[in-house]
Chain A
Amino acid sequence: MIEPYIELDDVSFAYERCAPVIGGLSLKLYKEQFTAITGPNGSGKTTLGKIMTGILRPQKGCVIICGRDSAGMKLGEIGQRIGYLFQNPGLQIFAPSVQEEISFALGLKGCSKEEIDSRVSRSLRDFDLTNLSDAFPFKLSRGEKQRLAIAAVLVNKPDFLILDEPTTGLDMERRRALSDILLGLKEKGIGMAVISHDRVFIDRLADRTIKMHGGEIVEDRT
């Protein structure tokens, strides 16, 4: 029997002094599947993504990551397994250059200079950022920031990816390029959950589609 990589058991969450956004939700996500999470604005998709990544901790229920209760795991520990792309890529960019943004974690994890250089240049090439390698990330366009944020997440080779609206700000050609990269990762056995409204993108990649409404799953189609 295949074990789920992420499991949510009766999870409820409400922001401070607000009505619950997620109410008693249970869900299993597998590494072998590409799961798309869809639903109207305010249905709790982003909150669900943040709960799965440990950014938000549920008030009720538990989140099991790779067989361990995430309540006992630090964010850094979860980050070693799961890569997360914020809905607004500007929130996860912090280094003074594009190149440094991508290489940031590799240096701290003890990778050799040769390995860092090779992974960073491949990443820059994959996301069409080579000519921007020395650019100041905060001055990039929305689409360039999006590509940089995805590159910085993927360079760490996570086991599972949670991407919140990854195609926002990308033109058709780059959406296709991102689809190809994600398909490649899927073939390598990296699990993925993608929050998106992009029907074409979802139809091309998803094995399973979860539709949310009012903090609940209203449809789960494989």
Chain B
Amino acid sequence: MKTGLKGLDPRSKLVLVLCLSTLGVFIQDIGILTAVLCVSIALSTASGSRLFVLIRKFRRILWLFVAIAVIQSIFAPSGRVLVSLGGIKLITAGGLYKGVAMVLRMSIVMVSATIMATSNSREIVQGLVQWKVPYEIAFMVSVAIRFLPLLTDEIKNVVTAVQLRGIELDRIPARQRVKVYSYLIMPVVSGAVIKSRELATTMETRAFRAYPKRTSYMVLTMQRIDYTVIITSLITSILTLILYIKC
């Protein structure tokens, strides 16, 4: 049996994630954003997510974060100029500050989302249904969650298939490499459309929405720790936002 944060009801996790993401979106201060990110990492780890495995898996795209910070800095220049090229302000202190804040914000949203990934999609649907969210919408949420890893697999398969045709991606010219990567979009999009059509047909054949009310074999029950987590997260987040706005 799961205990502590690992055994939380998916509804409590959802509240926790919403609170962390809200703080991440509203707060502009780098110091507070860093603190929120640290709290998100601690909570994600405590809830049993595979955060560090995921970071290792996606380490190749971490440079995108640096690129986002730099691009943000270029398009929102303010303050002291740090790097300029032919009179054009490339990196400014204010722009860099905004860029770092943007990266921290994205990290908070992504790290906090890993907390939700510790519940399976069936539990999430049930949590939403017990919150009186219509089953159709709850089911759509679960399908979206379940399909994400499939899309990643689809991309991996195409990259593998391209390489198995004897193409060494790091050796072909950059222009052709862009063309090759454009091939990734086609199977992912068409695969998603085909799968969603098949899923819809399967659901219809199993009489989805045939009756207005559904009974569930799984029924979630909130424990004391769930109420504690929900109340603590809400109070802490509201107080943080009030203090942030006032100061």
Query: Which residues of A in the span 155-181 have a Cβ within 8 Å of any Cβ on B?
Result: 156, 158
Residues of B136-186 at the interface with A, using a CB-CB cut-off of 8 Å, are 157-158, 160-172, 176, 180, 183-184, 186
Residues of B within 8 A of A108 (CB): 167, 172, 176, 180
A153 to B163, CA, bound (A): 12
B7 CB within 8 Å of chain A: no
CB distance from B22 to the nearest CB of A (A): 34
Residues of chain A in range 39-92 having any CB-CB distance to chain B below 8 Å: 53, 55, 74-84, 86, 90-92
Please determine whether A83 and B164 come into contact, CB atoms closer than 8 angstroms: yes
B161–A92 touching, CB < 8 Å: yes
Considering only residues 181-201 of chain A, those with a C-beta below 8 Å from chain B are: none
- Stretch from A93-101, A115-123, A126-134 forming part of the interface with B: A93-101
The reply on A212 being an interface residue by CB < 8 A is: no
Contact A94 B186 (CB under 8 A): yes
Quick one: closest A residue to B169, CB to CB? A76
Residue A109 interfacial (CB < 8 Å): yes
- Asked whether any CB of chain A lies closer than 8 Å to the CB of B77, the reply is no
B164–A94 touching, CB < 8 Å: no
B172 touches A138 (CB 8 A): no
B166, B180, B190: the one within 8 Å of A79 (CB): B166
Tell me whether A152 is interfacial, beta carbon within 8 Å.
yes
Among all A-B residue pairs, the 9 with the closest Cβ atoms: A76-B168, A105-B165, A80-B166, A92-B161, A75-B163, A79-B164, A79-B166, A138-B190, A76-B163
Interface, chain A (partner B; CB < 8 A): 53, 55, 74-84, 86, 90-96, 104-105, 108-109, 136, 138, 152-153, 156, 158
